[in-house]
Amino acid sequence: MRLNACSLKSMSKKIKNIPLSNSTVYRRIKDMSIAIEATINERKKKSPFFSIQVDESSDVSDLLTLLVIARYFNVNELEENLLLCYPRTKRCTGEDIFNAIQGYFCVKEMDWAKCCGVCTDGGKSMPGCYKSLRGRIKIVAPHVTWSHCCIHRQSLAAKPFPDSLKEVFNQSVKVANFIKANSTNTRLFKSFCGDMGSLHTTLLLHIEVRWLR
37-160: which CATH number, 3.40.50.300, 3.40.50.620, 3.10.350.10, 3.30.420.40? 3.30.420.40
* 132: pLDDT strictly greater than 70: yes
Ordered by start, the domain boundaries in the chain are: 37-160, 161-212
pLDDT cut 90: percent of the chain above it: 7
Closest C-alpha among 70, 65, 82, 23 to residue 45: 70
* 213: pLDDT strictly greater than 50: no
Question: Please, what is the end-to-end C-alpha distance for the chain in angstroms?
Answer: 76
* pLDDT, the chain, mean: 80
**Per-residue pLDDT tens digits for 139-182:** 898 998 888 777 666 666 767 777 778 788 788 888 888 888 88
Average pLDDT over residues 181-188: 85
Instruction: Give CA–CA dist 122/96, Å, rounded.
Output: 17
**Per-residue pLDDT tens digits for 88-118:** 777 778 888 888 899 999 998 888 999 999 8
* 183: pLDDT strictly greater than 80: yes
pLDDT cut 70: percent of the chain above it: 81
Alpha-helix residue ranges (DSSP H) falling in the chain: 5-16, 22-46, 94-107, 133-140, 150-157, 163-180, 183-195
**Per-residue pLDDT tens digits for 7-47:** 667 777 776 776 667 677 788 888 998 898 889 888 888 88
Instruction: Give CA–CA dist 158/196, Å, rounded.
Output: 30
Q: For residue 194, give Cα distances in angstroms to 172, 180, 182, 199, 205.
A: 20, 17, 18, 8, 20
Ramachandran angles phi, psi of 36, nearest 5°? -65, -45
pTM of the model: 0.65
